[in-house]
Amino acid sequence: GDSVTQMEGPVTLSEEAFLTINCTYTATGYPSLFWYVQYPGEGLQLLLKATKADDKGSNKGFEATYRKETTSFHLEKGSVQVSDSAVYFCALYGNNRLAFGKGNQVVVIP
Amino acid sequence: DTGVSQNPRHKITKRGQNVTFRCDPISEHNRLYWYRQTLGQGPEFLTYFQNEAQLEKSRLLSDRFSAERPKGSFSTLEIQRTEQGDSAMYLCASSLIGAGVSDEQFFGPGTRLTVL
């Protein structure tokens, strides 16, 4: 079935550092891809999405490009802030539901 | 538009008791989904409705679980004879599916269930 794999472990980095979170997927067809963010004590919020190959989703300084050839949708931000500390989930939409990765906790230190 | 709401936000119950959660989706949305999220994991699909029809249930949804969306608006998720393994965050999401409309799902804040 459809699945999403995110890199293992939390990510800790200093303010203004470059952030990358890896995400790869397995799916039949060409699913839509998403990044969701969960801030402490809050619900899941859509961060960005891409619906077809080579699309780039972007929002709040975050970007991710739908790469069909490598089945990847890596999340990047050039300069993180303390307020970016959260859990980030990669997801794909297929077979009438979202399939999520395990999530990565990002901690940004001032 | 007040977004997706869920009640209660927290529920503590003893093993063997029944619990019921409610989800109110965004008003014009025709699809409603339930997911379960355990600590350190991403949400896992449980079931979804299109209007009032329950179209699919995951194998995760045992016979002790039942969901309804009686008038195609709010939904309830009931767990009978709760077990400690049912402890999790239960998430509801809604979306508008149709021609020219995206598959974006909007999530509620979740109901955290603790079974003692």
pLDDT tens string A30-56: 899 999 999 988 889 999 999 999 999
Mean pLDDT for the stretch of residues B40-65: 93
What is the mean pLDDT of the segment spanning B46-72? 93
Asked if pLDDT for residue B1 goes beyond 60, the answer is no
Find how far residue B13's CA is from the centre of its chain: 18
Say if residue B2's pLDDT is above 80: no
> What pLDDT does residue B35 have?
97
**Averaged pLDDT, B85-98:** 93
Tell if the CB–CB gap between A100 and B42 is shorter than 8 Å: yes
pLDDT band at B98 (very low <50, low <70, confident <90, very high): confident
Model pLDDT, residue B71: 87
pLDDT (average), residues A82-96: 94
**Mean local confidence (pLDDT), A13-19:** 97
Tokens of B43: 């949400």
What count of other Cβ atoms lies within 10 Å of the Cβ of residue A46? 16
Is the Cβ pair B45, A99 closer than 8 Å?
Answer: yes
Q: Which residues of B touch A (CB under 8 A)?
A: 4, 33, 35, 40-45, 48, 55-56, 91, 93, 102-110
pLDDT value, residue B101: 61
Query: CA A88 to CA A85: how far, in whole Å?
Result: 9
List chain A residues with CB under 8 Å of B41: 102-103
Q: How far apart are alpha carbons A98 and A91 in whole angstroms?
A: 6
Which residue among A51, A89, A97 places its CB closest to the CB of B45?
A97
User: Average pLDDT of A72-92?
Assistant: 97
Query: What band does A95 get if pLDDT is binned at 50, 70 and 90?
Result: confident
What percent of chain B has pLDDT above 70?
Answer: 96
pLDDT at B18 over 60: yes
* Closest to B104 in 3D by CA, of B23, B4, B2: B4
Average pLDDT over residues A12-39: 95
Q: Confidence class of residue B112 from pLDDT cuts 50, 70 and 90?
A: very high
Q: What is the pLDDT of residue A94?
A: 86
* DSSP class of B84: G
pLDDT of residue B24: 97
Are the beta carbons of A96 and B48 separated by less than 8 Å?
yes
| Contact status, residue A25 vs residue A31, Cβ threshold 8 Å | yes
Taking CB atoms and an 8 Å limit, are B56 and A102 in contact across chains? no
Q: What is the pLDDT of residue A28?
A: 86
